[in-house]
């Protein structure tokens, strides 16, 4: 007779197996973290071209949808053809191929136009700055000397700072730069290799993006099929809804921020040209690019422009600073809310927190992508919190918990509903600082009165201090006569 394990034995065997796997994973996580990080880096390096292709396809997907929705679908409707039917598979493939080609040509033309318009002017501006840098340095030096001429104390401090900085620069050149010049060749070789690798990844990523754009609906359908196959209906619906939220958050923030920054850059260029600020193209491009970074980006662009212009013309630097301040007020109060709306749902504190957190992990990329990533994490935590509160029949609005004291018998008790004289769950309101000072003063006064009662003896009443008048003397004292 063939032996067959019962359900209890199978359950125990699965428990032992999963426990062993969990212990092995815990051991690797605690004692082999460096090797895991190396595996992850190697894996990402092998999939770098695929990742680049996914990013390119994700960026170009809205343009592809616009081309099909604007040109091809109306064309087939005018011809009386329903392109969504199963019999029109070849037409759909042909439409998708033309749409992908038009999208790629449009993207290449936009990049080429930007490069041909911006790069020559940027090169011209940088070359002119490098050529005129000694004159700019002399102008800045004369400006500083004029500014410090009437303040010898400030001038001495500035001279000490300059001397210290010069000595630090000289020591850096002698001790760090000159001994490591032999490594310059290897650094240049490595940089050239990285540039070549970047273009190879870009080329392969573009090919991958073409395949993804041609079959993006198929990939979406396969992902949904896996979700409904291995998860319950409710869980699968929630997972798909979560990915839809992630898609809306990223597209709304990234594309909205790109459009917003482009508009700010154009307005900055017009304003700098109008006020005759030097190098308007270079400064406007810097302002537009840094504006992509939330919160800190405008300040980075302003610092770059001011440091450049203060050596050329300090008055123009002040004019540029005023322009940037006006632009950021316009962007923060009018243009930004109009384009972005509430795409992330984060307050200003969480925006700063996400920028600092993911910027520390990924650098400039984390400054840009940190806000939408943290917005998705924040929404997921909020979703779990709402579900738990629903299970406990508790209110979901955060304002209901501002003055919450405690929960008793499944009911949320507010501060004004409980007896705060009882120190239950530390809800007793502490006395204010002034009340504690006044209370300690009364205690000290009572102690002094116990030691020396005459110190704080009350003065005689006003009536007893006033001498009796003739009228009062004429009135007989009834109580004394009665005695």
Q: From CA 284, how far away is CA 279, in angstroms rounded?
A: 9
Q: From CA 187, how far away is CA 182, in angstroms rounded?
A: 10
> pLDDT tens for residues 363-408?
888 888 888 999 999 989 998 999 999 988 888 888 888 888 888 8
Q: How far is CA 449 from CA 415, 439, 453, 456, in A?
A: 39, 16, 4, 7
Beta bridge partners of 411: 408
Q: How far is CA 145 from CA 132, 150, 165, 167, in A?
A: 20, 9, 18, 21
The pLDDT-based confidence of 64 (bands split at 50, 70, 90) is very high
Beta bridge partners of 178: none
User: Residue 345: helix, strand or coil by DSSP?
Assistant: coil
> pLDDT tens for residues 319-329?
999 999 999 88
Diameter of the chain measured on Cα atoms: 134
8 Å CB contact between 266 and 272: no
> pLDDT tens for residues 202-211?
999 999 999 9
Neighbours of 424 (CB within 10 A): 14
User: Residue 252: helix, strand or coil by DSSP?
Assistant: helix
Domain positions in the chain: 12-46, 48-152+193-361
> pLDDT tens for residues 112-122?
988 888 888 88
Its sign, for the CA torsion 195, 200, 205, 207, is positive
DSSP secondary structure letter of residue 292 = T
Q: How far is CA 476 from CA 272, 389, 466, 468, 481, in A?
A: 100, 83, 18, 13, 8
Q: Among the listed ranges 23-27, 52-56, 451-455, which one has the minimum average pLDDT value?
A: 451-455
Residue listed under structure tokens 């490069």: 115
- Residue 256's contacts (CB-CB under 8 Å, 6 or more residues apart) are 339, 340, 341, 343
> pLDDT tens for residues 182-232?
676 677 778 888 889 889 999 999 999 999 999 999 999 999 999 999 989
User: Residue 407: helix, strand or coil by DSSP?
Assistant: strand
Model confidence, pTM: 0.70
pLDDT average, residue stretch 117-141: 79
């Amino acid at each position: 007779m063939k032996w067959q394990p019962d359900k209890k034995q199978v359950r125990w065997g699965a428990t032992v197996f999963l426990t062993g796997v969990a212990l092995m994973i815990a051991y690797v996580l605690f004692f082999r973290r460096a090797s895991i990080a190396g595996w992850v880096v190697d894996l990402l390096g092998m999939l770098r071209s695929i990742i680049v292709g996914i990013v390119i396809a994700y960026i170009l997907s809205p343009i592809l949808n616009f081309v099909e929705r604007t040109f091809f679908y109306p064309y087939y409707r005018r011809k009386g053809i329903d392109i969504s039917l199963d019999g029109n598979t070849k037409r759909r493939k042909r439409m998708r191929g033309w749409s992908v080609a038009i999208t790629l040509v449009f993207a290449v033309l936009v990049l080429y136009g930007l490069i041909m318009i911006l790069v020559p002017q940027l090169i011209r501006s940088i070359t002119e700055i490098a050529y005129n840098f000694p004159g700019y340095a002399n102008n800045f030096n004369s400006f500083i000397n004029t500014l410090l001429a009437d303040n010898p104390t400030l001038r001495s401090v500035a001279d000490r700072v300059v001397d210290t900085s010069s000595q630090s620069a000289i020591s850096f050149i002698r001790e760090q730069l000159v001994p490591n010049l032999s490594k310059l060749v290897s650094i240049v070789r490595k940089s050239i290799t990285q540039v070549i690798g970047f273009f190879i990844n870009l080329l392969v990523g573009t090919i991958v993006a073409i395949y993804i754009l041609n079959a993006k609906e198929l990939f979406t359908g396969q992902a949904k099929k896996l979700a409904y196959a291995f998860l319950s209906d409710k869980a699968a619906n929630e997972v798909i809804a979560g990915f839809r939220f992630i898609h809306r958050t990223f597209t709304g923030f990234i594309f909205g921020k790109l459009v917003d920054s482009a508009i700010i850059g154009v307005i900055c260029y017009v304003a700098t040209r109008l006020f005759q600020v030097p190098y308007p193209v270079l400064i406007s491009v810097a302002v537009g690019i840094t504006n992509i970074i939330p919160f800190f980006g405008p300040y980075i662009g302003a610092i770059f422009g001011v440091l450049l212009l203060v050596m050329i013309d300090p008055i123009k630097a002040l004019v540029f600073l005023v322009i940037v301040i006006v632009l950021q007020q316009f962007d923060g109060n009018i243009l930004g809310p109009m384009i972005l709306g509430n795409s992330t749902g984060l307050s200003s504190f969480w925006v700063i927190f996400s920028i600092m957190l993911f910027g520390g992990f990924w650098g400039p990329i984390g400054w840009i992508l940190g806000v939408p990533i943290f917005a998705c994490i924040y929404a997921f935590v909020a979703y779990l919190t709402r579900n738990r509160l629903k299970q406990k029949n508790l209110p979901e609005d955060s304002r209901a918990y501002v003055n919450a004291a405690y929960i008793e018998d499944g009911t949320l008790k507010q501060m004004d509903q409980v007896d705060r004289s009882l120190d239950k769950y530390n809800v007793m309101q502490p006395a204010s600082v002034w009340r504690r000072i006044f209370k300690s003063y009364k205690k000290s006064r009572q102690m002094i009165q116990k030691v020396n009662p005459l110190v704080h003896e009350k003065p005689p009443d006003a009536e007893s201090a006033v001498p009796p008048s003739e009228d009062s003397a004429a009135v007989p004292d009834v109580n004394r006569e009665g005695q």
